[in-house]
Amino acid sequence: MCGIVGYIGYSKADNVIISSLKRLEYRGYDSWGVAISEGGRLNVYKQVGAIGEVESYELGDSTIGIGHTRWATHGKPSEVNAHPHLDCNKRIAIVHNGIIENFLPLKERLIKEGHRFVSETDTEVIAHLIEKNYKGDLEKAVVAALPELKGSYAIVAISSKERKLVACRYKSPLILGVGDGEYFIASDVPAVLEYTNRVVYLEDGDVVTITDSGYEIKNNGVEVSRKVELVSWSIEDAEKGGYEHFMLKEIHETPRVIEDTLLGYVSETIDLDVSFAAGTSEIIFVACGTSYHAALVGKYVIEEMSGIPVRVEYASEFNYHPAPLSRSLVVGITQSGETADTLEALRKAKRAGARVLAITNVLGSSVTRIADYVIYTRAGPEIGVAATKTFIAQLVVIYLMAAKLSMLTRSEVEKLVLELKLLPERVRRILDKEDKIREIGEFLADYENMMYIGRGLGYPVALEGALKMKEISYIHAEGYPAGELKHGPFALLGKETPVVACVIRDNTYDITLNNIKEVKARDSPVIAIADEKDEEVEKYVDFVVRTPEVDRIFTPVTYSVALQLLAYYTAKKRGCEIDKPRHLAKSVTVE
């Protein structure tokens, strides 16, 4: 979840590295650092806080170096715990993402051997292990150190004695950027897009050695060839484009994202291949966070349309459950394709003999190499930590999958496709009237606790709405099935606890209105999310956020966009750091 950058070429390395690290700020970090190799020594600069807070520094004119943005795991945010980390003799510097699970016994052994440690991190042991094995060849030293490491890692190493970078990965993402006479190593594509759109996605076990003349990739000591991919995103795609925050820009990109995702899988009918599901006894979704809520929508929709049993598991919990049946289809949903818990869940499913499908937004990501089948969302880069447009893209893919697995007639499928094609226009209508949502968000900004409720498809929407609110506004918000409030949460209701109700005009409508009446009887302000044709709901609530009328199965799309805006404007009024909420990161690559 931290950011890694390495560079070798003809430009001033620290300038390239700083610029690239800034492209990765969305991943979340609390400290950062840069190391360059120049004149037989390593020059290092490390700082707590944001990169933009530093007015000036000077590392030299070297054209080779490494950099890192750290999100603290082992040891508090501090200059000494920030990366890069060096060995005792300051001959080796490394940056690292991941977790070294056995760092304590390694550290104790190295101390007995005379090594001196200065940080609290697990990462520092890597530098010392490489230094221990260093005899003038950085690649050999790195390869010798790797078997001693248990856990996950993406590592880039640099030496004061050699003009080369050595990088390796295991269960943590790392890409190689191929420029014209220059090369880049990074943890994510946006870091290199300013300089090149040619990318090699490294695989688990890969060790890449980069010099001015090129690069060589080995896996288990054997040279391997990896395809150079052309990235379709432009650097402009990763810029704010006049919006105050990336989150708002990405919410406004939702109509185009829906169109792009449909363009890939829909013509006159749905072209998505679902042969992977043939003969399956059940579908198991594994996911985390926002992707988990998309999976919950999938459960409702797929079971209703196809009759196939569906269960949804948190990936982090699934890893400790009994293995799935061999006839199960296990579907992992991960925006980045690098979510550690989801990757491990899919590995477990494969070991059990289950078929594995991945739904992801990133071509070449780790999940694409684990899964038997992949369905790509087409959301483009998402910089804001809080998922918005990528969540909607996941829902669109799930609807397409459900329709293809369904027992619907041809005319029913055609009707569904037409409804899908109308969704971008429906979402634009919400965006055109966001001033009303802004007013309600500013009203909510003075509260510290909220509840979100819904029934049926409204329940996962409520969960996702609450997650967005707590992520970026820091208001304590919880989502519940509307019928569950009376089993405990009623004790928290009152004038200081607003309730957001997702009201869908289906078979849950009347009972949801009854639940709203129960809430109002306890003096809580109520904000309803409802479609524009619902005149009854106004009688029972304080505010209504109106959305265009759509087929009820698509209400998670329109309602979620409205709830994203509600969270955004609440957080903005509270003065929160919307794109980079505290303690969070975009791509969670540790378990």
Active site amino acids: 2, 586
Q: How many separate helices (H) and strands (E) can be counted in the chain?
A: 16, 25
Produce one character per residue of 218-240: b if its CB has 16 or more CB atoms within 10 Å, e if not. bbeeeeeebeebebeeeeebbee
Decide the pairing of beta strands 31-38 and 64-70: antiparallel
Q: How far is CA 266 from CA 262, 547, 550, in A?
A: 5, 25, 19
Question: Which residues have a Cβ under 8 Å from the Cβ of 521 and sit 6 or more positions away?
Answer: none
Produce one character per residue of 285-309: b if its CB has 16 or more CB atoms within 10 Å, e if not. bbbbbbbbbbbbbbbbbbeebbebe
- Rg of the Cα atoms in the chain: 25
What type of residue is 329? L
Decide the pairing of beta strands 64-70 and 3-8: antiparallel
Task: Report the candidate in 533, 497, 501 with the shortest Cα–Cα distance to residue 515.
Answer: 501
CA distance 584 to 591: 14
φ/ψ region of 555 (left if φ > 0, alpha if ψ in -120 to 50, else beta) reads: alpha
Structure tokens at 31: 């400290």
Query: Is 580:69 a contact under the CB 8 Å cutoff?
Result: no
Q: How far is CA 252 from CA 364, 424, 502, 520, 562, in A?
A: 26, 11, 21, 33, 11
What type of residue is 236? E
